[in-house]
Amino acid sequence: MPKAGGRIRDPERRERILGAAADLIAQHGFLGVNLTDIGAAAGIVGSGIYRHFPSKSAILVEMFDRVVDRLVVDAEGALRSSGDPRATLASLVDGQVRFTLTERRLCQVYLQESRNVPEQDLRRLRWKQRHYIDLWQDVLTDVRPELSAAEAKIRVHAAISVIHSCLRYRIEIAESELAVFLSTAAERALGVDVAGPRIQHSTDESPSATG
């Protein structure tokens, strides 16, 4: 941590920019926010942003990359850590729930703003997204070999959409209860019943309020 009154390290400035951008874009949309707004929210002079990002689009692309890369890394870790497909599937579901609840603003931007991502970046991101879905699909077909590839893919998309529903609607229940509800609903969308304890969160127990 920098000393009081000291210069903030560049990595910390970058994180502040990304955090401020995620909050503002989630609330006002990509087109409703400019670099001056982001700089003010991050406590950085607008021109200082250019030391870290060449444009507002570059900030958006960085946010998208972070979402997909984090999910892929977590999913690949789940596959390596368990030889039981059913336990692996539970880890995939719980990982998606955990990330969605702890990175709400980032996930909201990810769901809402793909139309504003430059085309060449969007193509690259789509490849990563397909890889993430394929990881889920492979595990699901191990658990439910009777499913065709198309049926498994539809169920995976449905399960992830169920989890993302908490970003679209105001849900007035405690965070830990919401996590269990979303995990259970996602498993139902997949057509599996994963026995065992559900994930626990260290977030506060106040009712969730997402709009």
| pLDDT reading at 125 higher than 90 | yes
| pLDDT reading at 122 higher than 90 | yes
For 175-187, how does the pLDDT look when each residue is reduced to its tens digit (9 = 90+)? 899 999 999 999 9
What per-residue confidence (pLDDT) applies to 171? 75
Inter-residue contact 199 to 98 (CB < 8 Å): yes
- Residue 26 CB partners (closer than 8 Å, separation 6+): 104, 105, 108, 109, 112
What per-residue confidence (pLDDT) applies to 200? 47
Would you kindly state where each structural domain of the chain is located, as residue ranges? 1-54, 56-211
Each as own residue / partner, the long-range contacts of residues 143-150 (CB below 8 Å, 24 or more positions apart, any chain) are 143/85, 143/86, 143/89, 143/192, 144/190, 144/191, 144/192, 147/191
State the average pLDDT for the chain.
88
Tell me which of 38-42, 100-104, 142-146, 195-199 is least confident. 195-199
Q: What is the mean pLDDT of residues 166-182?
A: 88
| pLDDT reading at 199 higher than 70 | no
Name the CATH superfamily for 56-211. Answer: Tetracycline Repressor, domain 2 (1.10.357.10)
Model confidence band, residue 209 (pLDDT cutoffs 50, 70, 90): very low
Annotation: CATH topology of 1-54? Arc Repressor Mutant, subunit A (1.10.10)
- Does this model's pTM top 0.85? My answer is no
